[in-house]
């Protein structure tokens, strides 16, 4: 796919998810993750180049069974906005955003503070 084709596709697709769009994940026909390209790269690259020429193939991913606290550490360590969740064969299962992780960190902090205070962790913040 060319950069121009990808931008056209993303314009149509992003209308529903405009607030969570930072990167485009490149997948093959079987939804296996191949790489990532930032919107900045898409907009600054000549339209006749291919996505394969622009994408980064060294994508930081998280396995689908990773604990949410470990996932939050991965976000912090790599300063990410989004992270793809993949299975053992690199099929993309979904994407977690920074907003999702903020909710997780708040839950974990609330639970930890309740434990410090000598109370049993509650089911709500």
From first to last of its 125 residues, the chain has per-residue pLDDT tens of 888 888 887 777 666 655 556 788 999 999 999 999 988 888 888 989 999 999 999 999 999 999 888 898 898 899 888 899 999 999 999 888 888 888 777 777 777 777 776 666 566 65
Any residues with CB less than 8 A from the CB of 46 and at least 6 apart, and which?
Answer: 3
Name residue, tokens 């992780």. Answer: 101
pLDDT at residue 14 in the model: 64
- The token duo for 4 is 């121009």
Judge whether 48 and 2 are in contact, CB under 8 Å. yes
Q: How far from 7 is each of 36, 42, 49, 123, CA to CA, in Å?
A: 14, 7, 12, 43
**Predicted TM-score of the model (pTM):** 0.71
- The token duo for 107 is 């839950």
- Report d(CA 69, CA 113) in Å as an integer: 15
Supply the CATH classification number for the domain 1-59. 3.10.580.10
Domain(s) of CATH 3.10.580.10: residues in the chain = 1-59, 60-125
Topology of domain 60-125 in CATH is CBS-domain (3.10.580)
pLDDT at residue 107 in the model: 77
- The token duo for 61 is 């991913």
Instruction: Report how far apart the first and last C-alpha atoms of the chain are (Å, whole number).
Output: 46
| Strand segments (E) across the chain | 23-27, 33-38, 62-63, 82-86, 92-97
pLDDT at residue 119 in the model: 60
């Amino acid at each position: 796919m060319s950069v121009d084709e990808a931008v056209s596709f993303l314009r149509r697709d992003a209308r529903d998810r405009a607030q969570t769009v930072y990167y485009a994940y490149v997948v093959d026909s079987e939804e296996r993750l191949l790489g990532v390209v930032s919107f900045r790269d898409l907009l600054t690259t000549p339209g006749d180049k291919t996505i394969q020429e622009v994408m980064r193939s060294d994508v930081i991913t998280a396995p689908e069974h990773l604990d949410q606290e470990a996932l939050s550490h991965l976000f912090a360590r790599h300063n990410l906005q989004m992270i793809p969740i993949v299975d053992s064969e690199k099929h993309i299962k979904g994407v977690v955003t920074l907003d999702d992780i903020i909710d997780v960190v708040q839950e974990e902090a609330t639970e930890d503070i309740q434990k410090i205070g000598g109370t049993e962790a509650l089911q709500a913040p």
